[in-house]
Chain A
Amino acid sequence: DVKVTQSSRYLVKRTGEKVFLECVQDMDHENMFWYRQDPGLGLRLIYFSYDVKMKEKGDIPEGYSVSREKKERFSLILESASTNQTSMYLCASSFRRVTLAEYSTDTQYFGPGTRLTVL
């Protein structure tokens, strides 16, 4: 069974604090993703990583940074938390598909989510 875990289920922080959200996967997946989930907006990609130390900006990277020092771990960092970053944060991981024939291999598996409230 694929397991993606996130360090906290609920987190309450104050404006200006530095916040770390951790995600760990145990399936040796190359790809890891951070999304935020907001009602009416769906899932929006913040950052993704396709290998250790490699990262790419998603659709809404402003105010966030990431770190991937080990293959199994992908961290999302809010350098200075603001109230508009109050949201549900979802981590996901997947294999990196090489050919279309491997279409079933790159399913994204999601963690349980971290509900972050910034006061």
Chain B
Amino acid sequence: AQRVTQPEKLLSVFKGAPVELKCNYSYSGSPELFWYVQYSRQRLQLLLRHISRESIKGFTADLNKGETSFHLKKPFAQEEDSAMYYCALRLTSWGKLQFGAGTQVVVTP
């Protein structure tokens, strides 16, 4: 069965410290993975997708097929990074996504 696992429910980091959000997946096909973010009182929105290999707001994520992981990283956390982050796996040609349980990130000054 396809699955997305985010082992951390809550991640608390200090401003300026590195932050890494873990995401592991289980999928028999060729995976496409995404990170979505929801800031307080805002809509859920796409942060980045592995296929575009972008750095968005200082965040990067590398797909590691050997470890079936897609961890999200930022070298220096900022207070505005405080949000709920969801890892998602694309399942079908229609674009159906399987989301993880989410990781709440709190960046303290």
Contacts and interface: CB of A to CB of B under 8 A. Distances in A.
A112 B43 contact: yes
A48 interface: yes
Nearest to A31: B95
Interface stretch (A13-21, A67-75, A78-86, A96-104): A96-104
B102 A42 contact: yes
A62 B100 CA distance: 21
Please report whether the interface of chain B is mostly helix, strand, loop or mixed according to DSSP: loop
B48 to A, nearest CB: 11
A42 B96 contact: no
B44 A42 contact: no
Contact of A94 (B44, B95, B101): B95
B9 A90 contact: no
A106 B90 CA distance: 11
A110 B100 contact: no
Contacts, number: 53
Contact of A97 (B9, B95, B98, B99): B95
Contacts of B101: 40-42
B56 interface: no
Contacts of A96: 94-95
A108 interface: yes
A45 interface: yes
A104 B52 contact: yes
A8 interface: no
Nearest to B102: A42
A107 B97 CA distance: 10
A64 interface: no
Interface string A32-56: 0101000011111100101000001
Interface in B55-109: 86, 93-102
Contacts of B49: 103-104
Given A50-B94, A96-B94, A103-B52, A108 B46 contact: yes
Interface of A: 4, 31, 33, 35, 40-45, 48, 50, 56, 58, 90, 92, 94, 96-97, 100, 103-104, 106-113
